[in-house]
Amino acid sequence: MDDAELNAIRAARLAELQKNAAGGSGSAPSSSAPTGNAGSSAGTDDVANTILARVLDTHARERLNRVKMVRPDRAQAVEQYILKLYSMGQLQRKLGEDEVVEILDGISRDSSQKAQTKITYNRKHVDDDDDDDDFFD
**Cβ pair 120, 90 in contact under 8 A:** no
Kindly state the average pLDDT of the residues 85-105: 90
Domains and CATH numbers, the chain: 1-22+39-110 (1.10.8.140)
- What pLDDT was estimated at residue 33? 42
Question: Rounded CA gap, 61 and 39, in Å?
Answer: 24
Taking only the tens place, the pLDDT of each residue in 103-127 is 999 888 876 666 666 778 788 877 6
40: amino acid identity, one letter: S
Burial class of residue 97 (count of CB atoms within 10 Å of its CB; 0-12, 13-18, 19+): middle
For residue 132, the 8-state DSSP code is G
pLDDT confidence band for 34 (50 / 70 / 90):
very low
